[in-house]
């Protein structure tokens, strides 16, 4: 007996140790990183799910519209929003199903043996039953409880649909801003290459004049320092372009190292004036911004919830019934048993009215009213926020317009100044420092011109993002008389 008890104890201890070894636990100490076996299982599960990729032509020059189209097809955020909207659509069907009766098939099988007192003796009675039935439940009337649930489900579906549109709005802006930032980085790299060539030309001029006895060694050293600085700036611009390219690829749902080409900034038109007044821009934002429409839909959901809460005060009327066949077997003592069968049904009509619930219904109504008022207040707060966003974007675009015009004038003046300085230097009228200064000014002007153009396009996209124009169909262009020009809004 002692040996068997020891064996049982060992078995129990081994089982407990195995269970503890297989169980997941917290890190044993706070002072170092800890990797559990469960974490390695997650690594295997993640490795089994390959990274989503799609083909893109590395030689093709993609426009912004084509990049947006690719991103909308392949970015995972749009798929998430789509599936959420589909789930909300199914919830509407679930809420509507409450208006229909529920029909259930039930099969009951039971056997029992008991002693029954007959006169002064107990008789052994054996019974066996098999009852297949159909059970029906139907809520006939509930004073708005089900219809309130349908209203809530429909409002939530509308919220999901609007969120789906807003996901596309944000994605379009992310692609647009990534595209313009890539154009800026690409333009800065091109400007840095031009600056390096100019610095090399100045260095060559200085070396040639030194060889001919017309310049000094410090002049060549100054030119060499300017050339190396230009080379340094070029390498920084190349790195910034690589980062901007990777950011745009990531937004499009591609690995950051994916190779593809985009349009050059010089191929894109730039606006010359504001298309609408600030009042029209703000009004359009109020009519188009999806998240503002979402708040209105949430008010509808809150109204449906309030309707449900009020319905709890009214009695509900329901119907239920069962129908089927009952087949049974019975035996008394050791006498021969017998079989029998017959119809089985029951019907009931129930009225249910909650008379007291400790204040639950009052609090549910109060809660629903408070939530409705909170959503309504959120509309006013969001309206103020959108108005400020549009105002800021509008002001930024006006500033970008002026900066672009100033940058273009600066570039033209700097180009002329650099050409004149080099020519004067060759004639011995200007010194080396004047040429290097003009070359640096031209390099800065090239950089600022690219930055001003891309910033203007980025601010156009930002204004379209803030007003909701990015997800609206462009209206047909109005007919114009010959040689008549009008300011145009550039919407990516």
More confident residue, 399 or 264: 399
Contacts of 311 (CB under 8 A, 6+ apart): 142, 143, 144, 145, 148
Chain centre distance of CA 436: 50
Confidence tier at 151 by pLDDT (50, 70, 90): very high
Structural contact between residues 148 and 304, judged by C-beta atoms closer than 8 angstroms:
yes
Instruction: Identify the residue with better confidence: 44 or 221.
Output: 221
For 99, the token pair is 């208006």
For residue 212, pLDDT over 90 is answered with no
Q: Is the pLDDT at 69 greater than 60, yes or no?
A: yes
pLDDT of residue 1: 46
Following DSSP, what letter does each residue of 377-393 receive, concatenated? Answer: HHHHHHHHHHHHHHHHH
**pLDDT for the residue numbered 334:** 81
Exposed, middle or buried, 215 (CB in 10 Å: 0-12/13-18/19+)? buried
User: Would you state the pLDDT for residue 490?
Assistant: 35
Residue 317, pLDDT > 80, answer yes
Residue 20 pLDDT grade (very low, low, confident, very high; cuts 50, 70, 90): low
Q: Give me the mean pLDDT over the 464-484 stretch.
A: 65
What's the confidence (pLDDT) of residue 17?
53
pLDDT at position 485 is 35
At residue 2, the pLDDT reads 45
pLDDT band at 115 (very low <50, low <70, confident <90, very high): confident
Q: In what order do the strands lie in the sheet with 316-332?
A: 102-118, 121-141, 316-332, 338-352
For residue 276, the model assigns a pLDDT of: 87
CA atoms of 450 and 430, how far apart (whole Å): 29
pLDDT at site 481: 39
For residue 6, pLDDT beyond 70? no
pLDDT of 290 higher than 60? yes
Average pLDDT taken over every residue of the chain: 86
Q: What is the pLDDT of residue 364?
A: 94
Weakest mean pLDDT among 42-51, 122-131, 160-169, 178-187: 42-51
CA distance 31 to 125: 72
- Give the whole-angstrom CA distance, residue 441 versus residue 423: 16
pLDDT of residue 116: 82
Average pLDDT in the 183-204 region?
90
- Quick one: pLDDT at residue 272? 85
Greater confidence, 51 or 247? 247
**Which residue in the block uniquely carries the two structure tokens 């004049």?**
209
Tell whether the model's pLDDT for residue 84 goes beyond 60.
yes
Task: State the average pLDDT over residues 460-485.
Answer: 68
Q: What is the CA radius of gyration of the chain?
A: 39
Instruction: Of 131-140, 143-152, 292-301, 476-485, give the lowest mean pLDDT range.
Output: 476-485
DSSP classification of residue 479: P
The reported pLDDT for the residue numbered 41 is: 75
Asked if residue 199 has pLDDT above 70, the reply is yes
Contact 418, 444 (CB under 8 A): no
pLDDT digits (tens, 9 = 90+) for 445-455: 988 999 999 99
Residue 87: the pLDDT is 95
Predicted confidence (pLDDT) at residue 374 exceeds the cutoff of 90: yes
Tell me, what's the pLDDT at 448?
A: 92
Neighbouring residues of 253: CB distance < 8 A, sequence distance ≥ 6? 52, 54, 70, 71, 74, 75, 76
Mean pLDDT of 197-206: 87
- pLDDT of 22 over the 60 cut: no
> Does residue 335 carry a pLDDT above 90?
no
| Residue 155: per-residue pLDDT | 95
Kindly state the percentage of the chain with pLDDT values over 70.
90
């Amino acid at each position: 007996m002692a040996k068997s008890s020891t064996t049982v104890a060992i078995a129990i201890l081994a089982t407990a140790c195995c269970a503890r070894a297989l169980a997941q636990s917290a890190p044993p100490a706070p002072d170092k990183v800890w990797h559990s076996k469960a974490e390695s299982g997650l690594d295997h599960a993640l490795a089994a799910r390959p990274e989503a990729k799609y083909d893109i032509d590395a030689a093709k020059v993609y426009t912004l519209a084509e990049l947006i189209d690719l991103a909308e097809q392949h970015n995972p955020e749009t798929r998430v929003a789509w599936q959420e909207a589909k789930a909300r659509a199914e919830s509407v069907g679930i809420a509507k199903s409450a208006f229909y009766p529920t029909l259930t098939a039930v099969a009951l099988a039971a056997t029992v043996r008991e002693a029954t007192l007959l006169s002064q003796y107990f008789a052994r009675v054996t019974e066996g039953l098999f009852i297949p039935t159909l059970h029906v439940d139907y809520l006939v009337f509930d004073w708005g409880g089900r219809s309130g649930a349908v209203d809530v489900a429909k409002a939530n579906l509308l919220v999901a649909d609007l969120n789906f549109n807003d996901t596309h709005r944000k994605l379009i802006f992310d692609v647009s801003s990534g595209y313009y930032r890539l154009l800026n980085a690409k333009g800065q790299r091109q400007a840095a290459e031009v600056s390096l060539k100019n610095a090399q030309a100045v260095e060559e001029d200085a070396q040639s004049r030194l060889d001919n006895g017309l310049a000094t060694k410090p002049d060549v050293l100054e030119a060499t320092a300017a050339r190396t600085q230009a080379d340094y700036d070029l390498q920084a611009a190349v790195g910034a372009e690589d980062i901007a390219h990777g950011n745009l690829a990531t937004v499009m749902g591609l690995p950051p190292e994916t190779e593809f080409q985009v349009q050059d900034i010089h191929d894109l038109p730039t606006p010359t004036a504001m298309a609408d007044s600030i009042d029209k821009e703000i009004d359009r934002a109020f009519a188009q911004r999806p998240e503002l429409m979402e708040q209105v839909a949430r008010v509808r959901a809150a109204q449906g919830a309030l309707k449900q809460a009020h319905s709890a005060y009214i009695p509900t009327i329901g119907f239920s019934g069962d129908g089927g066949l009952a087949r049974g077997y019975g035996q008394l003592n050791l006498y021969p048993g017998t079989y029998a069968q017959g119809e089985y049904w029951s019907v009931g009509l129930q009225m249910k009215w909650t008379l007291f619930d400790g204040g639950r219904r009052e609090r549910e109504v109060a809660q629903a009213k408070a939530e409705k008022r909170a959503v309504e207040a959120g509309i006013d707060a969001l309206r103020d926020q959108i108005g400020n966003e549009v105002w800021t974007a509008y002001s930024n675009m006006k500033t970008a317009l002026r900066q672009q015009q100033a940058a273009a004038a600066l570039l033209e003046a700097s180009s002329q100044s650099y050409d004149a300085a080099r020519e004067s230097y060759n004639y011995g009228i200007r010194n080396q420092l004047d040429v290097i200064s003009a070359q640096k000014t031209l390099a800065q002007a090239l950089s600022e011109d690219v930055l001003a153009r891309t910033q203007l396009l980025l601010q156009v996209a930002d204004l379209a993002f803030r007003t909701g124009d990015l997800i609206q169909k462009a209206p047909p262009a109005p007919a114009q008389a010959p040689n008549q020009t009008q300011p145009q809004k550039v919407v990516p």
